[in-house]
Amino acid sequence: MTAAERVGPGLHDLRIELPSWAFGNSGTRFKVFPQPGVARNPYEKVADAAQVNRFTGTAPTVALHIPWDRVDDYGALARHAAELGVGIGAINSNVFQDPDYMLGSVTNPSKRVRRKAIDHLLECVDIMDVTGSRDLKLWFSDGTNYPGQDDIATRQDRMAEALAEVYDRLGSDQRFLLEYKLFEPAFYTMDVPDWGTAYAHCIGLGPKAQVVIDTGHHAPGTNIEFIVAVLLRAGKLGGFDFNSRFYADDDLMVGAADPFQIFRIMWEVRRGGGLDPATGVAFMLDQCHNIEPKVAAQIRSVMNVQEATAKALLVDVDALGKAQDDGDVLGAHAVFMDAFATDVRPLLGELRAADGLDPDPVAAYHRSGYHAAVCADRADGAQAGWGA
Ligand code: RM4
Ligand code: MN
């Protein structure tokens, strides 16, 4: 079997979802640097996302974040996306920026605030009904900063109650993906700090409750691929928010900080059957391009995931299995590392050319003149941002 035959079918099935917020201005708490040509509204963000799909052929959906992407008519936004050859993907809820949420959203001590937060989550499901989205992504900034500030177990009860109400509202072809994060903005306890907590809430609810792994949301050194293997085995891996990090939740381009890690993750995905679209594992980016041009950075990120996936598909499973069964530690490791060490870029270029795409998507995007055109078109008005 040629390398192209081993890699081609799996790569063809790979779909990577783009985050609308990657196309707006973003930054750190020190400064948001505006960039020329940045989208001013959800329609323009979708248009930018469509460029990423145009040159990669692999990013057919864009996730929305509510209220950042609030529009009067979500049906019209979905039609706009369809006209550009893409669709609306996951709906991301946002219960972390309203002043009412200082002490939490669904785990807030105040019943009124909890109700308000749950109502927002239900509103997101209403939007999904209109956009045809399958997934609601739930990330909660809820937590505490000081020991004794609030009762840890009571907050878990409130979380469970809120999740149950949202779960019951989901349609038969809808799911929620519960995201965990170790710390930030809360520094003592987060209410969903790790995959175990997310998993415990999800198994209590049923198959429409799944865990999503944001690669930036772990303690340094955490073996994320182990989590992938365990969740896939349990049928509870709903998807990924891909990005990379050097320190905390850096939201840098996936595969930039540690290409080996994303390879190891994609290997476990492949090993667990998660590359089969039928398993429902969603491959999403959750990134912010604070200093680099946004559309090109998204294209590069998609390519980085493709490269890691191609390498994972190159692993010789028969040779690996034999070495593992024989207890051949170095032999098994060598099979694994051979795949990682392969330069798959020429192969990916060939596969793109066979699909009628430019072998070099970033260069093709630069040549297209899109960036200059939007810089001219979008000279007026306020640019979109993440409103932090
Ligand atoms: C959070 C989390 C969510 C994302 C927001 C912007 O840290 O990763 O997935 O929607 O950031
Ligand atoms: Mn995320």
Is the distance from CB of 387 to CB of 24 less than 8 angstroms?
no
- In angstroms, what is the span from residue 214 Cα to ligand 2's centroid? 5
pLDDT on residue 386: 78
Read off the pLDDT of residues 73-122 as tens digits, 9 standing for 90 and up.
999 999 999 999 999 999 999 999 999 999 999 999 999 999 999 999 99
Residue 388 has pLDDT above 70, yes or no: no
Q: What is the pLDDT of residue 1?
A: 86
Q: How many CB atoms lie within 10 A of CB 208?
A: 21
Dihedral, CA atoms, 316, 317, 319, 321, nearest 10 degrees?
A: 160
Angle value at C-alpha 358, between 370 and 336, nearest 5 degrees:
120
pLDDT tens-digit readout, 329-359? 999 999 999 999 999 999 999 999 999 999 9
Please name every residue paired with 366 in a beta bridge, in sequence order, or none if there are none. none
Closest atom of ligand 1 relative to the 386 alpha carbon: 6
Ligand approaching nearest to the C-alpha of 214 = 2
Q: If you count them, how many residues does the chain have?
A: 388
As a whole number of angstroms, the distance between CA 300 and CA 306 comes to: 10
Q: Which ligand is nearest to the CA of 192?
A: 1
Name the average pLDDT for the chain: 97
Query: CB atoms < 10 A from the CB of 126, how many?
Result: 12
Nearest CA to ligand 1 atom 3: 139
Matching residue, tokens 């509103």: 123
Closest CA relative to residue 294, chosen from 8, 42, 20: 20
pTM: 0.98
Reported in sequence order, the residue ranges of the chain that DSSP labels E, i.e. its strands, are 16-19, 61-65, 87-92, 135-139, 143-144, 175-179, 189-190, 209-214, 237-242, 282-285
Looking up tokens 């529009």, which residue turns up?
Answer: 71
Q: Once rounded to an integer, what is the mean pLDDT over residues 167-196?
A: 98
Please compute the mean of the pLDDT values over residues 247-272 and round it to a whole number.
98
Q: What is the pLDDT of residues 200-246, one digit of tens each?
A: 999 999 999 999 999 999 999 999 999 999 999 999 999 999 999 99
Distance 179 CA to ligand 2 centre (A): 7
For 274, other C-beta atoms within 10 Å of its C-beta total 22
> Between the CA of residue 6 and those of 3, 13, 351, what are the distances in Å?
5, 13, 12
Nearest-angstrom CA–CA distance, 370 and 361: 13
CA terminus-to-terminus distance, the chain: 51
* Residue 177, CB-side half-sphere exposure with 13 Å CA sphere: 25
Q: Are strands 143-144 and 189-190 parallel, antiparallel or unpaired?
A: antiparallel
Angle at 264 between CA 318 and CA 249, to 5 degrees: 170
**CA-nearest residue, atom 10 of ligand 1:** 92
Pocket residue to mutate for ligand 1, from 23, 92, 135, 139, most atoms within 8 A of Cβ:
139
Give the model confidence (pLDDT) of 25-65 as tens digits. Answer: 999 999 999 999 999 999 999 999 999 999 999 999 999 99
pLDDT of residue 201: 98
Q: What tokens were used for 310?
A: 């191609």
Using a 6 Å cutoff on CB, does residue 179 contact ligand 1? Answer: yes
DSSP SS3 for 240: strand
Residue range 112-133: mean pLDDT, rounded: 98
